[in-house]
Structure 1
Amino acid sequence: MPLPSAMPARMRAVRLVRPGHPVELQEVAVPSVGPHDVLVRVRAAGICHSDVHYRAGRSRVEPLPLTLGHEVAGDIVAVGSAVHDRAVGDRVCLHYLVICGQCPHCVAGREQFCPTGLMLGHFTDGGWAEYIAVPARNAVRLPATVPYDHGAVMMCSSSTSLHALRKARCTPGDTVLVVGAGGLGMSAIQIAHQLGASRVIAADRDPDKLALAQRLGAVPLDVRGLGPAAGAEAVRALTEGRGVDVAVELVGHGDTVLLALKSVAPLGRAVVVGHNDVPVPIDSYRDLIGREAELIGSNDHLLGELEELTAMAARGALVLDDVVTNRVALDADAINAVLDALEQHRAPVRTVIVPDAAG
């Protein structure tokens, strides 16, 4: 459908043009709106560590050039002719998986396996732009009490953490180890408490992040200089020698995967979220069989989990004030600087792009 007469025809967008090269600011057409779509004016878009992999060419992005950004929140400014459950003016955050909605996986609620699914900012244009068009079902209502930048970050770091804890079957009374106290870890700490965890331990090497984790209710564990075995012994020292029921690995390194697995108690579940393409040596008896432990992969999240998260945030159970610590304009130089810092592991916990901000 044509855009409303007051809408501009062109917009600014920060795009990946060539892998291994800085992202670039370009002027492109405002996306068209199909009958089942909504057009969203972007108010906030997160910068994720995945974007570092996309820019570096370690994870395939196509078609190029492509607008990055899969953590998005904003206002609906136009709706398609067949859309009746969303309206102009709605505050929304966006589910980043664009799916068919009809295949067996989608019907069963396993939309991350949709054979035609496309991820915003990975295989279809994302939210590092002034506007983005998505199917209406991808627009999750954002409560008025939740800031746009928090809504954006929830679309990846918080939702990924919730899905991982669900995969781990985290239940009331469980002890939980969160390996990696970054953006995902800070959400995982709070969500684990909401799911009834009796104790949450946060393992990291950054004293500032560990201090924040402690303020959020976790027991901090500094693992600087500790290998997986020594780190697991430190976890056991905090759990009366037993280990944890659930360990969530959020870093993407062989040693952190081993730390998570070696830290679980008998019948414990270690869930791997962080991307890692290096083989991980596992002692099948000591690490798995002898304790009947489980090593579980967790990929993306589900649309229904996003609504659960926004409800948590609305009632003050998920607070991201100290997580979203940096904001930048829709400016290629500023965004490349954040990506550089993420690649060097010296970035703030979470940075959000605010397109309306002055450059």
Structure 2
Amino acid sequence: MEFFSEYAVFLAKTVTLVIAILVVLASFAALRNKGRGKTAGQLQVSKLNDFYKGLRERLEQTLLDKDQLKALRKSQVKTEKKQKKNPEAKPRVFVLDFDGDIKASATESLRHEITALLTLATPKDEVVLRLESGGGMVHSYGLASSQLARIREAGVPLTVCIDKVAASGGYMMACIGEKIISAPFAILGSIGVVAQLPNVNRLLKKHDIDFEVLTAGEYKRTLTVFGENTEKGREKFQEDLDITHQLFKNFVARYRPQLAIDEVATGEIWLGVAALDKQLVDELKTSDQYLAERAKQSELYHLHYAERKSLQERIGIAASSSVDRVLMNWWGRLTQNRFW
């Protein structure tokens, strides 16, 4: 126990020192950035064909002997020269990624990526969205879906690939794709709406604590955490949920008219294999397989709009990572657990 006490004191001193240093740096960063506007981000574009080519060439270097590799490279050079003399216009595929949290925070980057590609994309091109999301806030995913709708309205083919999950708000985005491709065991569906909140009014009453809720407007507040909820308020809250659900169903049915919407809009989820039978998806395939196939006849461009973080934000991220590492190391020593 003496060891643990000494180690706890050492840990406390270390964490205090780290926090003190970070506070000073954060203050300096705040003063430096005072009066400056938000730093603009940057659109990063990479050609995925080069990535696939690099993978193949690395494998060829390992598996082929010197003579075989020399002959192969010679043949490739001839082919490339021939293509340069008779250039063939290949269709373009713009690849985007969306990794959604509960607030659909990735929408901020997605909107800029879509704005950029729509300046050049034509109906002969294609946009592929690699989507991962279990859903979240209605208004946040509503905006994300509206961004994707811009691609459809421009007449550019949109393919959505789902490797792990696209449920609830995630499926709301996915359904906009003219083609939805899913891995066999990805999670899809959950076309429903849920809301929940605790109520501690009885606990407050037990301790003689009053909590007043004043509103102007009959339904300004329906259910609350601290106030006393009424049956009328519950009915209105449920009515709002039902309206939102109906809007969700109508939205999905608009882009996927082949669905038996009342059958699938029950809030249930399905794995990819079952989702194919329900027509929630069009094909079972991983995004890697689909893009590798498209790379054979198309030029693939991956777009990512990266927000430039301020010094203060970078310090905050570094601080969080440092504290996490210290605490994990301390807990590992106490419990003799190993962390990978």
Fold equivalence (TM over 0.5): no
Q: Give the TM-score, by structure 1 length.
A: 0.26
Greater share of helix: 2
Bigger CA radius of gyration: 2
